Structure 1
Amino acid sequence: MAAAQEEVLATPELLELILVELPMRDLLVTVPLVSTTWQATTRTPALQHALFFLPNLNLPSSSAPVKNPLLVELFPPFFIDVDYVTAVTIMAMPWARAPAAFKRKEASWRHMLVTQPPARTVAVTELRVQWARISVRHARWNEPTALRIGKLYDLAVPFIDRVRSSFRIRWHGAPGDGVGVGSDTNLTLDIRYIESHKQLSRVDKQFESDANQAVDIEFGEWGPPPG
């Protein structure tokens, strides 16, 4: 290696500028294995922002949220606009290929922010169709510092760990979503429970994190849907 290259890589500030341009997976998995110096560099605020471990409070509050690209890849039902998610959808995620790694209590994915700037507020709507009667109830749930995928997973999955239930997540703040940048609600969790003869699958226990923590939310009363 040329002396100039060695000097650049030995300068923490310059090394940080280089590493921050790497793909997120390389920055998370490969870089820490190169040397103890490179591993230590990944803990700087700039790289922790890039890895979605540390909220980037330097971004303007009006910035459109950027979804965590690694989480989009690993947990697509939580980030990609699809039809309602069932237990079958959850059990088809990449988690299925390495359940032991995902289940670990210390798994790093649980600590990742879902977006930068960080999301904090979730609106929850549960719709129930029972004997041809439709009712709905609402709740709001706030994570004071920043919403991480572990908490969102623990919030959403228990709702479909029962027969005939499904959910979808609608993200706000992107152009054309009808809510607009700056809304104090970052995403909406829609839950649908339909009384029918069709039995949906339950979520297999291998998809329950060993660090799972119940999320308590306070719903309003059941009532008729608006309109």
Structure 2
Amino acid sequence: MDTPEILEMILAGTDMRTLLTSAQRVCRNWASLIRNSRSIQKTLFFIPIKDSEWGIGQKIPNPLLMETFASFFPTKNRPDSYQFDFSDLVMTRDASTLAQFIRADASWRKMLVQQPPISKIGLFHISYEIGGDSAESASILVSLQPARRPDSKVW
């Protein structure tokens, strides 16, 4: 296709899984366009969008991460207290799937959890005790820079 703008619009409307797997294998031009298009990279949750590009206060969770790591994402019908069961994760079902997920260059490692990205992570803990109830909270700001191990490699 000689008109990259039209191809970019078509690919931007393609589902994430196809963009990450099949579409990049069509040809080098498609792979390059997917890697270098800011709009497609935003669609794939690789680079952040600004609140001004989105509905104010509206947050969209990454659908691929929600599907892949379902037990990590809250649902309306789940109780407030929840134990994560890692055996529910697709990656734990067989060795070949696990190998795909733990690769250092696995695409999910670079993805944002939601768009626009979170800016703060908080924890709220309530204790119910005989001597009286108590509540504690804490929060930390989130960096959009990749997390680095002590040996300077990206996690």
> Identity of counterpart residues, as a percentage?
30
1:63 Cα shift? Answer: 4.3
Does 1:54 find its partner at 2:43? Answer: no
Aligned counterpart, 2:151: none
| Paired residues, number | 141
Aligned counterpart, 2:150: none
Q: Deviations over 1:57-101 (max 9, x none)?
A: 2514614111111111111122231233324x2221112132222
Does 1:92 find its partner at 2:88? Answer: yes
Q: How does 1:27-176 map to 2 (within 5 A)?
A: 27-43=19-35, 44-57=37-50, 58-60=52-54, 62-81=56-75, 82-83=78-79, 84-87=81-84, 89-97=85-93, 98-127=97-126, 135-145=134-144
Consecutive unaligned residues of structure 1, counting only runs of 5 or more, are 1-8, 151-210, 213-227
CA distance in 2: counterparts of 1:145 and 1:139, whole angstroms: 20
CA distance in 2: counterparts of 1:63 and 1:22, whole angstroms: 25
Q: How does 1:145-224 map to 2 (within 5 A)?
A: 145=144
Aligned partner letter, 1:85: Y
Q: Deviations over 1:176-213 (max 9, x none)?
A: xxxxxxxxxxxxxxxxxxxxxxxxxxxxxxxxxxx75x
Contact 2:71-2:88 within 8 A present in 1 as well: no
1:118 Cα shift? Answer: 1.5
Off by >4 Å, runs of 4+ in structure 1: 127-136
User: Which structure has more helix as a fraction of its residues?
Assistant: 2
Aligned partner letter, 1:12: P
Aligned partner letter, 1:113: L
For the aligned residue pairs, the C-alpha RMSD in angstroms reads 2.7
Consecutive unaligned residues of structure 2, counting only runs of 5 or more, are 148-153
1:106 Cα shift? Answer: 2.3
User: Which structure has more strand as a fraction of its residues?
Assistant: 1
CA distance in 1: counterparts of 2:68 and 2:12, whole angstroms: 21
Change (3 A) 1:20 1:60: closer
